[in-house]
Amino acid sequence: MTNPRARRTALVAAVCAGGLVLSACAGPVEGPTTQASGDRPWSEVLAEADGQTVDLWMFGGDDAGNAYVDDVLAPAAADLGVELRRVPVADTGEAIRRMLAENAAGRTDGAVDLVWVNGDNFATGRQADAWLCGWAEDLPNRQYVAADDPLVTSDFGVPVDGCESPWHKAQFTFVHDSARMDDPPTSLLGLLAWAEANPGRFTYPAPPDFTGSVFLREVLYATAGGVEEVPAQFDQAAYDDLSPALFDRLREVAPSLWREGTTYPRDEQELNRLFADGEVDVTMTYGPATLEQLVAEGTLPETTEILTFEEGTVGNASFLGLPASAQDRAGAMVVANLALSPEQQAAKADPSVWGQFTVLDLDLLSPAQRALFEDLPASTVLPPYEELSENAQPELGSGWVGPLDEGWRRQVLAETS
Amino acid sequence: MTDHRDLLRATPSLAAVLAIAGVGMGLVVLTSFGLMPLVGAPEASLAGWRLSGTDLLLGVRETLVIATASTVVACAIGLAVGSLVLAAGPGVRLVRAVAVVVLALPHLVGAASTGLLLRDAGLAERVAGAAGLPASAGWPRLVGGPWPVATVLEFAWKESAFVALVVVAALGATHVARTETAAALGATPWQRWRRVLVPASLPAVGASGLIVFVYTVGNYEVAWLLGRAYPEPLPVLAFRLFTSVDLTDRPAAAAAAAVTAALALGTAVVVAVLLPSLARALGHGVGAGGSDLAARAGAAR
């Protein structure tokens, strides 16, 4: 029993304990959210940032995104005297956990300077008071963002309050292979009916996977009778009222899903694999920008097309968040501001670079800046953002996410597995 | 006296293990009772245990199914491979080298490879399809199916190499003398295997089997990659809850981790206590006169 292998037995316990030991050092941080000194002249921030190294933690599984940060954003940051280091993570939650532990320990020399974040991960940080707030509205390039754009003032129902700076917009997208689907459905309920008419050809990732979780909210809107029937903020009475129809419908459709709904793909990558292998005819994503590359490299067929629904799909924005425990705050602000510049936003929107939709309001740009966007080549797979986001539905408040995921687990997965 | 000296020698490593694992487990248990929240004030509560109550029971069942099946298959294959190596026939070096390579590969790589091989539209199905077998019509659900077949096979494949090497290491020095004596006493090769090698290797198989079982109970990545979404084995349940975006799920995650550790430690203690008598009992059970032959063969060295 002295073999080192025996020590691996408490692997999970050790993983849990490791985080807890760190977090236990100083206990939870109470009190108001840390405020940045946003009123000081930008030249002072630039001067302070000179020579700093900013660690940007972001999902590392998106090759185009990695290439954009390494080849376009980082060199531009270097011109401003800031070294930008990309820290790839398998899941944004890893960055959040690191940041929460550092924050709980009261550190201000943390390893996380910026996080590509949105939705429930942002809400988790707010729950623990771990974001630096009040800085994002003061960035000089913020002038190009419409102040009343609901996608950038609120993140899944949680007020942004300058705790994160918008980076790009996204639209939940259903994808099919036009060569395999003759008469594609035009609504979400139509898609579920199609699944019943074509047994085994449709499935969705199991929540709490991010994509599966969005799919649940899409079906909730559909079974509730529309966006206006679901209150944006979580409300137990509304949940009790609306969730039975949602779970009933999903239980009903389960026997017609891939593998009769006895199991579900774990995540979007797994669903994409099933789609690419021809096992199912539909996949879905909140990051349609990746489709261009997937088709170009041959992972997905050239006949890959977007399914357009009459009622639209949900849309959101993703952001760059600055942890309260960050060591290189000035540098992080300089990078966030740079990422908002028309030049960077246009470069990132190029389908051959990353193809992410801009958060800037083109009406606020100069003609020369606007031309940067107008001259971009069109995507071979995606329609323009205006078309894709037609009838866009707002995201539900993050308070809905947990109860819906857990409800699905108990009432659909447990009963149909 | 010897016991005292042994204990004294073991004290530094025991202290290190207890300090690290003990403090960690203490914190996990405190968290499971709501006494170490990441946000908010500590408040003693059973909410974490209640929250994951049903999942915990299903998790224990799933974990035991995976761990027991993996251990049994790994021990059986490990003993067979160990016997091959000990038989010292041609190709022994190759078998030994393969076992070392298998052992050196991380489980994550093993799990990913098993997935690529066994899943629907995986290599095995494609090869079967190309060979004209009617595989594509009904390829068995080995990955993510109702039974954790792929998970068990991955564990068994990798851990059997470990069992084999332990068996070889435990018997290697004395094996030749034993079998030669047994042969001189008139035992056939089959008798030598059944009545000499198997009983002599049982303590090694039992000890390595215990390590395999305990390791399998605590392993996360293999079941996560190759298992189904529900029900989850305990480590997967603990990890999912620990990484939940809702920080109030942490007590439930800690409860699952505590049960995982208790299951592993409990099994280790019980088996470690019972192992000597268990091995003796099993040794007696291996054919009439088996232990007698083994004892005589053993005495002859």
Per-residue pLDDT tens digits for A179-211: 988 889 999 999 999 999 999 999 999 998 889
Q: Tens of pLDDT along A4-39? A: 343 443 333 444 344 434 333 333 343 333 344 456
Is the model's pLDDT at A94 over the cut of 70? yes
Residue-level pLDDT at A416? 79
Chain A residue numbers with beta carbons less than 8 Å from the beta carbon of B149 are none
List the structure tokens of B182. 């047994």
Is there a contact between A5 and B254 if contact means CB atoms under 8 Å apart?
no
B 231-260 near A (Cβ less than 8 A):
231, 234-235, 238-240, 242-247, 253-254, 256-258, 260
Query: Do β-strands A164-171 and A114-117 pair in parallel, antiparallel, or remain unpaired?
Result: unpaired
Q: Three-state SS for A282?
A: strand
Pick among A5, A8, A15, A16 to test the B interface (most B CBs inside 10 A): A16
Single out the residue of B71, B74, B287, B86 nearest to residue B197, CA to CA. Answer: B86
Q: What is the pLDDT of residue A25?
A: 37
Distance CA A366, CA B180 (A): 93
Q: Which of B13, B210, B229 sits opposite A264 (nearest CB)?
A: B229
When the pLDDT of each residue in chain A is averaged and rounded to a whole number, the result is 87
For A58, the 3-state DSSP assignment is strand
Q: Chain-centre distance of CA A128, in angstroms? A: 20
- List, for residues A303-361, the tens digit of each pLDDT value: 999 998 999 999 999 999 999 999 999 999 999 999 999 999 999 999 889 989 999 99
Flag if A19 and B242 touch (Cβ within 8 Å): yes
Q: Does the pLDDT value for residue A145 go beyond 50? A: yes
A160 has a pLDDT exceeding 60: yes
Q: Which residues of chain B have pLDDT under 50?
A: 1, 285-294, 296-301
pLDDT in tens, A223-271: 999 989 999 899 999 999 999 999 999 999 999 999 899 889 988 888 9
Q: How far is A46 from chain B (nearest CA, A)?
A: 34
Q: Could you give the CA distance from residue B230 to residue B237 in angstroms, rounded to a whole number?
A: 10
Which tokens sit at B237?
A: 């349940």
pLDDT of residue B2: 56
A291 CB contacts (<8 Å, ≥6 apart)? A173, A175, A285, A300, A304, A381, A382
Which residue in B has a C-alpha nearest to residue A3's C-alpha? B211
Per-window interface: B 96-125 vs A, CB < 8 A: 120-121
pLDDT one-digit tens code per residue, A357-403: 999 999 999 999 999 999 988 888 888 888 888 888 888 988 898 89
**Tokens at B132, concatenated:** 């004209």
Chain centroid to Cα B142, Å, comes to 20
Instruction: Please report the pLDDT score of residue B289 as a whole number.
Output: 40
Cα–Cα distance for residue pair A380/A305, rounded to 1 Å = 10
pLDDT tens, position by position, A105-131 = 888 899 999 999 998 899 989 988 999
- How much is the pLDDT for A284? 95
Amino acid at site B171: L
Q: Are B217 and A9 in contact (CB under 8 A)?
A: yes
Interface test with B, best of A20, A23, A250, A404 (most B CBs within 10 A): A20
- Given a contact cutoff of 8 angstroms between Cβ atoms, the answer to whether A136 and A317 are in contact is no
What are the beta bridge partners of residue A54? A84
Partner-chain contact A13 B260, CB within 8 Å = yes
Decide if A5 and B246 are in contact by the 8 Å CB cutoff: no
Instruction: Give A-chain residues touching B16 at CB under 8 angstroms.
Output: none
Written as six digits, the tokens of A161 are 């309050």
CB A292 within 8 A of CB A160: no
To the nearest whole Å, the CA of B247 is away from the closest chain A CA by: 7
pLDDT digits (tens, 9 = 90+) for A42-82: 999 999 999 999 999 999 988 889 999 999 999 999 999 99
According to DSSP, the residues that pair with A87 across neighbouring strands are: A57
Side chain identity, residue B272 = A
> Which of A6, A259, A277 faces B121 most closely, judged by CB atoms?
A277
**Do residue A17 and residue B40 have CB atoms under 8 angstroms apart?**
no
Residue type at A88? P
Q: Chain A closest CA to B190's CA: distance in Å?
A: 31
Predicted pLDDT of residue A13: 40
Give the Cα-Cα-Cα angle B167, B92, B196 (nearest 5 degrees).
40
The reply to whether ipTM tops 0.90 is no
Please provide the size of chain B in residues: 301
Distance CA A171, CA A289 (A): 10
Report which DSSP code applies to A118.
-
C-alpha distances in angstroms, B7 versus B12, B110, B258, B274?
10, 38, 28, 20
Q: Mark yes or no for CB contact A18/B146 under 8 Å.
A: no
Q: What are the backbone dihedrals phi and psi of residue A317, each rounded to the nearest 5 degrees, phi first?
A: -125, 150
B250's tokens? 């942490």
**Cβ-count burial B45-82 (b if 16+ within 10 Å, e if not):** eeebbebbeebbebbbebbbebbebbbebbbebbbebb
Q: Inter-chain contact A10–B264, Cβ cutoff 8 Å?
A: yes
User: Which pLDDT value is given to residue B55?
Assistant: 87
Rounded CA separation A75/B250 (Å):
40
**3-class SS letters over chain B:** CHHHHHHHHHHHHHHHHHHHHHHHHHHHHHHHCCCCCCCCCCCCCCHHHHHCHHHHHHHHHHHHHHHHHHHHHHHHHHHHHHHHHHCCCCCHHHHHHHHHHHHHCCHHHHHHHHHHHHCCCCHHHHHHHHCCCCCCCCCCCCCCCCCCHHHHHHHHHHHHHHHHHHHHHHHHHHHHHHHHHHHHCCCCHHHHHHHHHHHHHHHHHHHHHHHHHHHHHHCCHHHHHHCCCCCCCHHHHHHHHHCCCCHHHHHHHHHHHHHHHHHHHHHHHHHHHHHHHHHHHHHHHCCCCHHHHHHHHHHCC
Residue B82 CA to residue B87 CA, distance in Å, equals: 8
* C-alpha span between A197 and A257 (Å, rounded): 10
Kindly report the backbone phi and psi dihedral angles of residue A318, in degrees, each rounded to the nearest multiple of 5, phi listed first: -115, 160
A8/B215 touch (CB, cutoff 8 Å), yes or no: yes
Residue A266 has a pLDDT of: 87
Report the Cα A265 to chain-centroid distance in Å: 19
3-state DSSP call for residue A388?
A: helix
Q: Which residues in chain A have their CB less than 8 angstroms from residue B245's CB?
A: 93, 96, 120-121, 123-124, 208, 398, 401-402
- In contact, A281 and A275? CB cutoff 8 Å: yes
Q: Which residues have CB under 8 Å from B215's CB, separation 6+?
A: A5, A6, A8, A9, B159
Calpha distance B207→B118 (Å, rounded):
30
Q: Is the peptide bond before B231 cis (omega within 30 degrees of 0)?
A: yes
pLDDT at B272: 84
- Taking an 8 Å cut-off on Cβ atoms, the answer to whether A13 and B265 are in contact is no
Residue B157 identity: W
Three-state SS at A374:
helix
CA distance B175 to A125: 62
Given an 8 Å threshold on Cβ–Cβ distance, is A413 in contact with B215? no
**Chain B nearest C-alpha distance from A57 (Å):** 17
